[in-house]
Amino acid sequence: MVNLSERRRFLKIMLGIGAIALIGSVGGSKLSELLASNEGARSALTPLDQWYVVQIGNTPNVNVDNYRLMVDGLVNNPLSLSLKDIMQMESTSLRDTIQCVSDSFFLKANVEWRGVPLQSILKLAKPLSNATKVILYGADGYTSDLPLYKAMEPTTLVVYEADQELLLQQHGYPVRMAVPGWWGYKYVKWLVRISLTNTDYLGYWESRGYPDIAKK
């Protein structure tokens, strides 16, 4: 999708198919195990230095001292949360596989996230009854969006840790989204704003033709 030329991407996809064919010839059950959608729950964590990076531009430098996560739009109670505010809320941890839609075989990582359910933050902000969507903004200008029902699922998290460490800068420090079950482009890094809307807003990749309902 980004950072890979079309040609290299094509080669990588072909390699992926080769690997699948090879495993497939060894045993069909192994193939289905590998491709199981909840594999993050069972597979070993990906070493941090093998975790892929995909992004539309450079890694922004977010200063944690004046970091705020704004929650606004169709809410009764707009919020401005510091990292400390977020870390003091009740947290959830879960294992997940983050996967890029452009090369879902190589560009993926098994990660143990820790963060706050987006649901808890939205409940504090008190959405108005006409809100239908949540727009997620990154400090690099990237955006994505979630329908309110997905935003309210208990596994949709505003995360600040991966594998029990603070996020690395290239993976979204200090705060990013994790949306288990959906493609990586929903996992907005350097999350700085959450805005509720009743418009059919489409994010960066969604407005370029990738599915808005991004179920893997």
Ligand X SMILES: Nc1nc2c(c(=O)[nH]1)N[C@H]1C(S)=C(S)[C@@H](COP(=O)(O)O)O[C@H]1N2
Stretch that binds ligand X, among 26-34, 37-45, 47-55, 86-94 (CB under 6 A): 47-55
Quick check: 34 and 104 in contact, CB under 8 A? no
**Should residue 185 be labelled a site residue for Mo ion when binding is judged by CB under 5 A?**
yes
**Should residue 184 be labelled a site residue for ligand X when binding is judged by CB under 6 A?**
yes
Burial class (CB in 10 A: 0-12, 13-18, 19+), 125: buried
- The smaller minimum CB distance to Mo ion, of residues 127 and 180, is found at 180
**Should residue 94 be labelled a site residue for ligand X when binding is judged by CB under 6 A?**
no
- The smaller minimum CB distance to ligand X, of residues 91 and 143, is found at 143
- One character per residue 118-147, x = contact with ligand X (rule: CB under 6 A): --------------------x-x-x-----
Least CB distance to ligand X at residue 141 (A): 8
Residues near 5 by beta carbon (within 8 Å), at least 6 away in sequence: none
**Should residue 210 be labelled a site residue for ligand X when binding is judged by CB under 6 A?**
no
Binding residues among 50-89 for ligand X as defined by CB under 6 A: 51-56
For Mo ion, the binding residues (CB under 5 A) are: 1, 54, 100, 184-185
For ligand X, the binding residues (CB under 6 A) are: 1, 51-56, 98, 100, 138, 140, 142, 171, 184-185, 187-190
